[in-house]
Amino acid sequence: MIQKHQRLLWTLESLVTGRAIREVRDRDVPLAQQLLQYYAVQAHTQEEALAGWEPMGVIGLILPPMFSFLEMMWSICPALAVGCTVVVLVPLASPTPLLLAQLAGELGPFPGILNMISGPASLGSVLASQPGVQKVVFCGAVEEGRALRRTLAGMGPELGLVLGAESLLLLTEMADVDSAVEGVVNAAWSDRSPGGLRLLIQESVWDETMRRLQARMGRLRGGRGLDGAVDMGARGAAAHALAQRYVCEAQSQGAQVFQAGDVPSDSPFFPPTLVSDLPPASPCTQAEVPWPVVVASPFRTAKEALAVANGTPRGGSASVWSERLGQALDLGYRLQMGTVWINAHGLRDAAVPTGGCKESGSSWHGGLDGLYEYLRPPGTPARLPYLSENLNYDIFGLAVPSTLPAGSETGPGPAPPYGLFVGGRFQAPGGRSSRPVQDSHGNLHGYVAEGGAKDIRGAVEAAHQAAPGWVGQSPGTRAALLWALAAALERRESALVSRLERQGVELKAAKAEVELSVRRLRAWGARSQTQGHSLQVAELRGPVLRLREPLGVLAIVCPDEWPLLAFVSLLAPALAYGNTVVLVPSGTCPFPALDVCQDMATLLPVGLVNVVTGDRDHLTRCLALHQDVQALWYFGSAQGSQFVEWASAGNLKPVWVNTGYPRAWDQEAEGAGPELELRAARTKSLWLPMGD
């Protein structure tokens, strides 16, 4: 149907968005057809490739005012392929989605699988609150995504974010400068990209590159989108105002601005713009670059370029330009981006996953990753609202209960309190206080340290210091350490069984929990050697490496139930995929986890695992609001889950919450299934195009 009506489709798209018609005709429409064909095949093969996974149900898609038809197709196609139905909220006066819905309605006897609503973005919260909506995907600006994250906290639907449009281009002294200049044109001054570009140029080729870049800018053609000869169209008053505001702010902060052509001030066209000499400390350095602006900065060494590139809060896409393939691959591997191209920019393929990290969001399109976005593990209940109207975000977790000993003591006195396990050793908490832990009969079992905000900061800092060394370890080394920890757990079996018995666990069940914990560690040790990396070939464009990278510093709040098994089941996949961990153990029975820490002190690198005990709500608040925690898993109360979703909007860290429902940690599907593998790492696509 798209092929039949493609002329109408690309004409409407160019008229509404202002983009050059040749980009829509030659790139967007063919790729949309490729997406439909690819996911049509996946719809037939998913039973084998995705055995056991189930479609989520109703998916809500919220599109920004300046969106392209292709952006919508990246989300709609995989959702429909796995059996979900879609409701799309599109901006007013957007005829292209309505045309697509009309064409879909003519295909067969399945009315309602694709629904379009024209209205303001404020209707997003209304859409998310409708019964049966299981996931909401938002594409748009970072601040709008942050606000939606807070608004939807506790409402039930999972939130997928695809935020920002800025990309990065890193040009080394070994690059083919002419090819790199064309890469800049494709990245920022054609109508392929929805956003601006941050350009890093090595000092030794700075002058030559800037000269050629300015000369190339003078040959760019702007005009009305329906003119087949133009490179750049006009994207409307909102895009024009955004670019103008950024350029004025950059000039006020000391930047030099070069604009090609003589465009009248009242013209709807914004000229291609090159900004340079922007001071490193200026606000515009950290702000997102809008289309069609390029911000150029010099760098001296590769280490400096990586520091600058990874220092921004965004992690969408980037390209590396160098004729030395080894150097280019090393830089591409170390860039904290979701998609990286080598000596090319902006390549897309339906079978290749595309996404971002950090504030660019954590949702993925394309390939099998795009299908997993709309699937859930077998037996997972539908997501229902768990909103607590009386939850006060300002005071949740602030009030820490008294830490004075309480309860009667029977028998011999309890052992001295455990300290906090931070930086590879036990240490006293910052508040110099402890909290009592009672057994199943209400008698005093012992004391644990009362951790607080200061201790969380120390644990996160220790985890960050350990991260580079742990990420650099080979999968075999990680596997050996997990197996060694399993052996240590096995040697400690009698003591751990005794701990669990004091908490009311029957002897047989306690032994089974310890044995299953040992098996889980060994199983994740074996899995860590595969890592999920793969090589695929994009159609006519060369190989693409699909990498599975660690999330970084991962905070985990364990459930009260299954105090040893849940601790191990969450810790093992996190370590297997290269994360460093700050962990809050079971509040009712933290001792098994602390006993295991004695072995970790001698087996694991310093700072790799940090365990902080104390009030669950208070520690959850500290972790959720911490801007250097890069992901958070929470298994506790419904109110705690709601707070975590709300507070994670600060740095848009990916979160996984249980919404107050218990999890069957002794079952393989829930305690060691593929969902844990997906949650413990993120995908990165590294393109290696071939040819001239």
Burial string for 541-567 (b: 16+ CB within 10 Å, else e) reads beebbbbbbbbbbbbbbbbbebbbbbb
Q: What is the pLDDT of residue 416?
A: 55
The answer to whether 648 touches 149, Cβ cutoff 8 Å, is: yes
Give the pLDDT band (50/70/90) at residue 408. very low
Average pLDDT, the chain: 88
126-179: per-residue pLDDT in tens? Answer: 898 888 899 999 998 899 999 999 999 999 899 999 998 899 999 999 999 999
Per-residue confidence band for 406, with pLDDT thresholds at 50, 70 and 90: very low
Residue 405 is predicted with a pLDDT of 45
User: Which runs of E-coded beta strand occur in 184-292?
Assistant: 197-202, 256-259, 273-276
Which H/E stretch holds residue 327?
A: helix 325-334
> Residue 318: enclosing H or E segment and its boundaries?
strand 317-321
Structure tokens at 599: 């072995």
Residues 509, 511, 512, 513: is their CA dihedral positive or negative?
A: positive
For residues 122 and 145, give the distance between their C-alpha atoms in angstroms, rounded to a whole number.
12
Residue closest to 375 by CA, chosen among 54, 673, 87: 54
pLDDT grade, residue 85 (50/70/90)? Answer: very high
Q: Please name which of 153, 136, 145 lies closest in space to residue 640, comparing C-alpha atoms.
A: 153
Phi, psi of 609 (to 5 degrees): -125, 130
Nearest Cα to Cα of residue 634 among 575, 553, 558, 552: 558
pLDDT digits (tens, 9 = 90+) for 168-213: 999 999 999 999 999 999 888 876 777 889 999 999 999 999 999 9
Separation in Å, CA 448 to CA 8, 455, 684: 69, 14, 40
> Cα(527)–Cα(441) distance, rounded to whole angstroms?
40
Q: Max CA-CA distance within the chain?
A: 89
Q: How many helices (H) and strands (E) does the chain have?
A: 24, 30
Burial of 402 (0-12, 13-18, 19+ CB in 10 A): exposed
Cβ(398)–Cβ(618) under 8 Å?
A: yes
Q: Which pLDDT band holds residue 69 (cuts at 50, 70, 90)?
A: confident
Q: What is the pLDDT of residues 417-476, one digit of tens each?
A: 678 999 999 999 988 888 888 877 778 888 899 999 999 999 999 999 999 999 999 999
Distance CA 19, CA 224 (A): 8
Residue 680 has pLDDT above 90, yes or no: yes
Q: Is the pLDDT of residue 119 over 70?
A: yes
Report pLDDT digits (tens) over 241-266: 889 999 999 999 999 999 887 766 66
Beta-carbon neighbour count of residue 78 at 10 Å? Answer: 30
List of residues 6+ apart from 2 with CB closer than 8 A: 9, 29, 32, 33, 36, 100, 103
Cis before residue 292, ω within 30 degrees of 0?
yes
Note the pLDDT of residue 620: 97
414: pLDDT strictly greater than 50: no
Taking the C-alpha atoms of residue 326 and residue 571, their distance in angstroms, rounded to an integer, is 34
Confidence of residue 407 (pLDDT cuts 50, 70, 90): very low
Which has more confidence, 521 or 141? 521
Rounded alpha-carbon distances, angstroms, from residue 103 to 41, 100, 385:
20, 5, 34
Res 599: pLDDT: 94
Please provide the DSSP assignment of 648-671 as one string. Answer: GGGTT--EEE-TT----TTSHHHH
Residue 170: which of 292, 334, 322 has the closest Cα? 322
- The beta strands (E) that lie in 178-292 are given as 197-202, 256-259, 273-276
Strands 542-550 and 681-687: antiparallel
Q: Residue 307: pLDDT above 70?
A: yes
What integer pLDDT is reported at residue 403 of this predicted model? 52
Which tokens hold the place of 347? 């390549």
Phi, psi dihedrals of residue 554, rounded to the nearest 5°? -105, 125
Assign 310 a pLDDT band (cuts: 50, 70, 90). Answer: very high
Structure confidence at residue 195 (pLDDT): 84
What's the predicted TM-score (pTM) here?
0.92
pLDDT at position 621: 96
Looking at the chain, the whole-number percentage of residues with pLDDT higher than 90 is: 57
Determine the pLDDT at residue 413.
41
Per-residue pLDDT at 643 exceeds 70:
yes
The single-letter code of the amino acid at 567 is: F
